Structure 1
């Protein structure tokens, strides 16, 4: 167990090279009067925490490429359909993890790296940390193999900042009760408790990469908190 924790910290706490990224900004970027290094920001949290809403809001505020995992590419959309399909209840956890890694490899190659090379920020709904929490802890696959597969899929490029939207599971259950649930959202309370614990372990292992915001606040307050945290950490 200690070896696993050390490996998570070693890989997830690595410094990300930034010198090679840059270039002209596109897609109506926010003008600040100064050159800013393009950043890769991920929003994380459990189902129903508000990630999709705040990914869109933050991305629009920054003039960023707004994307998601899984499903940020055409190929990823096909994989997302397979992963979310409620008919696929017999999917093995390892199959699930490998499909996530395949989506992530395509996403990095087709969306994230090209955008950063053009000088555009990227704001993504989910990232490698969802795999470590959902498949690693939720599905009980552990982290060493998932780290190896996921960092290979990412070509070593981790998010510069991860915003974790923290909402108690009992509130999330109330929110999910209003949805048509996909395969993941239909999992039980114990599954999500393991995921929540996994996220908090990842945050504790790499506090310089994460910020935690209170997702129970009104949406506009959450948005303002996220903007302030991003500005403080990345000077954006």
Structure 2
């Protein structure tokens, strides 16, 4: 039985996932919760190398199925090497992206089909799913503008996709939200950052009351 809590943060480009995860980590540490943060693809050396291949701006010829398989491979290694051991130790794991990203990006936006991409990932994760998934909803117009305005952020291959691709990504996430209402929670990522954080923290606290003290606020 899983001892820890596995929370994933999902969303389109520019949704603010990285900032949110840092804030969540800080508040949990203040509360005395043993927490680690990580990301997909990446989080460990092998998966970070795969990430470099996937997101390299020069790899525009990459086939959609190749992309999906690379994500699944990175996910598998990350899961068995970092995520699963941490949860077995009773830690809270907050991960930037997981399987829902593949379903939205490769399954829906790339047109491979969510069922097909889910089959690939079932092999990779063996039905290992998050306890809670926070979906940061943002329109592509706003998200891509945020990226363009953030000079410190490196532009990767997915950022170069057409606007219609990012619209399809959002459509895919909204479909997943409808299909998984018990696991996924929608957060309006177009709000002020402090409102986004408060909404996310409330969603986490309401789900996992009793796992940790909730009387400490930022």
Q: Tell me the TM-score normalized by structure 1.
A: 0.83
Counterpart residue number, 2:118: 147
4+ long deviations beyond 3 Å: none
Identify the match of residue 96 of structure 2 among 95, 110, 125.
125
Query: Structure 1 residue 206 and structure 2 residue 180: aligned?
Result: yes
Alpha-carbon offset, residue 208 of structure 1: 0.7
Structure 1 gap segments, 5+ residues each: 1-19, 23-37
| TM-fit CA distance, 1:234 | 2.2
The TM-score, its normalising length taken from structure 2, stands at 0.89
Map 1:63-78 to 2 at 5 A: 63-78=34-49
The alpha-carbon deviation at position 110 of structure 1 amounts to 0.6
Aligned length in residues: 202
1:1-236 equivalence runs, <5 A: 20-22=1-3, 38-62=4-28, 63-179=34-150, 180-235=154-209, 236=211
Kindly indicate whether the alpha-carbon contact (under 8 Å) linking 2:107 and 2:116 is maintained by their aligned counterparts in 1.
Answer: no
Unmatched 5+ residue regions in structure 2? 29-33, 212-218
Q: Distance in 2 between matches of 1:205 and 1:127?
A: 16
Partner Cα distance (1:159, 1:151) in 2? 13
Q: CA RMSD in A?
A: 1.2
- The 3-state SS of whatever aligns with 2:157 is coil
